[in-house]
Amino acid sequence: MSRPEKDLLSAPVTWQSSEAGSSAKHADPGVMQSAAGAPAISQKTRRAICAGAVALADLLAFGVGYLHLSLVANPAMLGIAPVMIALTVVALHWMIGFYPGDRLQPQEILRRHTLAFLAAALLVAAIGGFDQGGWPGVAMSEVFLMIATILQVPARYLVQHFLHHTGLWGTPTRFIADAEKARALETFFTLNWRFGLIPTQEEGAIVALDYVPTREVAIDLHRRYDKVLVLADLPQQRVSGLGPRALRGAVGEWIADPSFVPISLRKRAFDLAIAVPALILAAPILALASAAIWLVDPGTVFYRQTRDGHNGRVLRMLKLRTMYQDADARLQALLRADPAARAEWETHFKLKDDPRILPVIGKFLRASSCDELPQLLHVIAGEMSIVGPRPFPEYHLAAMPAAFRAKRAAVAPGITGLWQITARSDADLAMQQQLDEHYIDNRSVWLDLWIVLGTFAALLGRKGAY
C-alpha cells in the first residue's frame, strides 16, 4: 500500500451535530460547511445552479444572435424557428452532459459543441426551417444557428467566470498524492478553474487521486467522500497514466464503490408496484396531516433526518413532523428531571409519554405510521425499500455492534420491517438485532409480502405504537 493510501486510511472521520429530535450523526459529504460551521449550499444544488446558469447563457446567446440577424435581414422569414432552434440546442447539450460543462478537457468541450451544432443544423434542414419560409427560411435559420453557436462561447465563459467569482462554480476537491505532485495539481486546477476541481485542504465533497486505488482503499474513500476520481494525465505532467482520449475527454475516471450492492430487480419491481399507487392514495392523507400539523405548531410540516442508508450512504430521510420544533430541548429537560424516563429512553430510545409529541395529530401519525408516508418518495428514487431494516438515527446505531451495523447497511433500509409487525416499540436492542438479522438472512419477495400484509394488521392493532 502506498503512503497516500496509508495516510488516508488513518485519517479521522468527520462528524456533525444533529437537528432537533435526533442525536449525533454522520456529516453529509455533499453539504459544504461555511466558515462559521453552519451548513452551506449542497453540492447537488450548486451544480444545479451552475447547470441552469450555463443553459441560460446559451439561451441568451441565441437571443443576441436573433437581434443581430434582425438588423441585417427580415426576421419574419424565420417565423418560430429561432425559439425551436434554441430549445433544441439546449436539449441536445443537456442530453450529452454539457451542463454545467466542467470536468471536461478543452478538446472534449469543442467536440460536444461541434456535434450539437451539426445535429441542430441537420434537424433544421430536415424539417424545412420549422415554418413556411421555404429554403430561404432554412438558409436564414442555419445562419442564425451559426451566429448563436459562436456567441455561446463568450456567453458561457462570462457566466462561468461569474459563478467562479461567487464561489458556486466547481466542486471542492482534496488531492491525494505525494507532496510535490499534490502542490502541482492544486496549482494547475486553481489556474484552470473551468475544470471545476477547486483545491481544498478540508474534507471536500470529492477526492482526486493520482493512482488507481485498491478495493480496500476505494471502499474507505467512499465512506469519507461523495465521489472518488482518478485524474487523467495533464499536458504539463503525467499523473496516473490514464489518457484523456481513453476517458472520452473527461478530466478523470470515477471509481465506483466496490462495496455497493444494488437492490435486486425483483425487489425493485416489488417496491415500485406498491410505492407508486400507495403514494397516489396517500396524497389526501398527506395534505390533511400537513394542515393539522401547521395548525397545532406553525412551521414546516416536513423534516429531514440524516440516517445511515444502503451500503453506508447518507440518507436524508423525509418524514411528516410529529414533534414540537423545540423537541430536543423538551426531551433533555425531561431526562434531567425524571430518572425513570431516562432509563426508559436508554432501553428503547423511545418514551410512552413523550413531551416532544404534538397533541392528537402527532400521536395519531405515529400510532398509524402515517408520518412515514413521505418515505415512499425514497422508495421510488431507489434509496429505500418497502421492507427492510429501519434506518435508525446515529444515537440508536451507536449502541449496536459494528459488525451488525455493517450487516444492516448491506441491504436497503425499509419503511416497514419484521420488528414493526412483531414487537414494534416494545423491542429492546437485543430483540431488534435478532429480528433484523433474521430478516437479512432469510429475505425474499414472499417474506416481504408477508411483512407488508402483517404491517396492516399491526397498524390496526396499534400494538407497541407510540
Q: Which residue has the cell 440546442?
A: 89
The pLDDT value recorded for residue 29 is 41
Rg (CA), the chain: 27
Instruction: Classify 177 in phi/psi space as left (phi over 0), alpha (psi -120 to 50) or beta.
Output: beta
The pLDDT value recorded for residue 385 is 92
pLDDT in single tens digits along all 466 residues of the chain: 444 444 444 443 332 322 333 333 334 444 444 433 434 677 888 889 999 999 999 999 999 988 887 777 666 666 677 888 888 889 989 988 889 989 888 888 898 889 889 988 888 887 664 555 566 777 888 888 899 999 999 999 999 999 999 989 998 999 988 888 889 899 999 999 999 999 988 766 788 988 888 888 888 888 788 789 999 888 777 888 888 777 888 888 888 877 676 778 888 899 999 999 999 999 999 999 999 999 988 888 888 888 888 877 788 889 899 888 877 787 888 788 778 878 877 776 777 777 788 888 888 888 788 888 999 999 998 889 999 988 887 777 788 888 888 888 888 899 988 887 876 556 677 888 888 888 888 888 889 999 998 888 777 665 555 5
The pLDDT value recorded for residue 13 is 33
Angle at 381 between CA 395 and CA 402, to 5 degrees: 30
Instruction: Classify 336 in phi/psi space as left (phi over 0), alpha (psi -120 to 50) or beta.
Output: alpha
Q: How many Cα atoms occupy the beta-carbon half-sphere of 57 within 13 Å? A: 26
Omega before 100 within 30 of 0, i.e. cis: yes
Q: Which one, of 404, 330, 319, lies nearest residue 362 by Cα?
A: 319
